[in-house]
């Protein structure tokens, strides 16, 4: 299976320009089976107001950006995960969608909102779903979710082989260090598709990363350049949870000792 990411700088408030840019970058996607795009790709990130967040959002049914992703997946026989500014009634969600050749397979709404996102978005209300696409099972997290190991663990316990992580990371260095650790602790592949560029006072940190279940970084982009990177993986690595012949990363847990985790 060939997996990858597109690292780019979406245009704040100009979805058409972003789609043209993705088109150009995807020419180098090398027959990928699964590609991950950054967080909030249809809108950009650093809104000046709730009005701007609202104007750049889309209902998923009828979304121009979703139609674009669906057409790409049909054309290339592939799956794409992308961040999207989702409008639902009078609420906005910071959402990741999973799209395949037959259309949208599911979505996740960001649980852990970062800084000003709390002014615009409603916290996720769909839990932590895992989607079976045939060759593998996919879990979704978004950007600042990286700080919460419980979320990664739940996805691993639900059988995710690959965790796709659309991001707009801004704190230099931190998440990119944590990603390979989440990979090895849960014995999963992780694809973090970060963005580059600057919006207002925020500079995004790039360094999009694919890490494997042994914590090896298979691919990493630069901190500043747009890029598409892909790599062939053996998904069976994510299904071998044995750390030693007598230690299983999930079955050796002692959940009866962790009850504090589910208290407020
Ligand atoms: C982030 O969650 N976009 C930092």
Catalytic site includes residue 143: yes
- List the structure tokens of 92: 């906005």
Please give the span between the terminal C-alpha atoms of the chain, in angstroms, as a whole number.
40
pLDDT tens figures, 42-84: 999 999 999 999 999 999 999 999 999 999 999 999 999 999 9
The predicted pLDDT at position 81 comes to: 98
The predicted pLDDT at position 259 comes to: 96
Q: Specify the ligand 1 atom closest to the Cα of 113.
A: 2
The predicted pLDDT at position 30 comes to: 77
Order of strands, edge to edge, in the sheet holding 91-100? 103-109, 91-100, 79-88, 34-36, 2-7, 227-232
Q: Cα separation of 100 and 98, whole Å? A: 7
Q: Specify the ligand 1 atom closest to the Cα of 170.
A: 4
List, in order of start, the domains of the chain with CATH numbers: 2-262 (3.60.110.10)
pLDDT tens figures, 88-119: 999 999 999 999 999 999 999 999 999 999 99
Catalytic site includes residue 104: no
Q: What is the mean pLDDT of each run of 10 residues along the chain (264 residues)?
A: 98 97 91 97 97 98 97 96 98 98 98 98 98 97 98 98 98 96 98 97 98 98 98 98 97 97 93
Give backbone dihedrals phi and psi of 48, rounded to 5 degrees, phi first: -85, -20
| Catalytic choice (41, 143, 164, 226) | 143
- List the structure tokens of 180: 């390979």
The predicted pLDDT at position 28 comes to: 84
Q: Specify the ligand 1 atom closest to the Cα of 143.
A: 2
The predicted pLDDT at position 21 comes to: 97
- Minimal CA–CA distance to 63: which of 86, 94, 80, 40? 86
Q: Cα separation of 150 and 166, whole Å? A: 18
Catalytic site includes residue 177: no
Ligand 1 pocket residue status of 114, Cβ below 6 Å = yes
């Amino acid at each position: 299976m060939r997996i990858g990411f597109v690292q780019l700088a979406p245009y704040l408030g100009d979805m058409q320009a972003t789609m043209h840019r993705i088109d150009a970058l995807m020419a180098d996607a090398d027959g990928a089976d699964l590609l991950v795009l950054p967080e909030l790709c249809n809108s950009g990130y650093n809104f000046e107001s709730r009005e701007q967040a609202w104007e750049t959002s889309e209902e998923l049914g009828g979304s121009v950006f979703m139609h674009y992703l669906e057409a790409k997946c049909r054309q290339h026989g592939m799956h794409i995960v992308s961040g999207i500014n989702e409008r639902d009634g009078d609420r906005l969600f910071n959402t990741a969608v999973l799209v395949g050749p037959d259309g949208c397979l599911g979505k996740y709404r960001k649980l852990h909102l970062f800084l000003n996102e709390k002014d615009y978005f409603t916290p996720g209300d769909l839990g932590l779903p895992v989607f079976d696409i045939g060759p593998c099972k996919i879990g979704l997290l978004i950007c600042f979710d990286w700080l919460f190991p419980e979320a990664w663990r739940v996805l691993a316990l639900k059988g995710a082989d690959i965790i796709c992580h659309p991001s707009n990371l801004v704190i230099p260095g931190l998440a990119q260090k944590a990603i390979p650790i989440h990979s090895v602790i849960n014995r999963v592949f992780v694809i973090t598709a970060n963005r580059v560029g600057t919006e207002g006072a925020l500079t995004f940190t790039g360094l999009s990363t694919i890490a494997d279940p042994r914590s090896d970084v298979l691919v990493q982009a630069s901190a500043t350049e747009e890029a598409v990177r892909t790599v062939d993986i053996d998904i069976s690595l994510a299904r071998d949870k044995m750390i030693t012949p007598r230690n299983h990363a999930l079955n050796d847990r002692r959940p009866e000792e962790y009850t504090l985790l589910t208290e407020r």
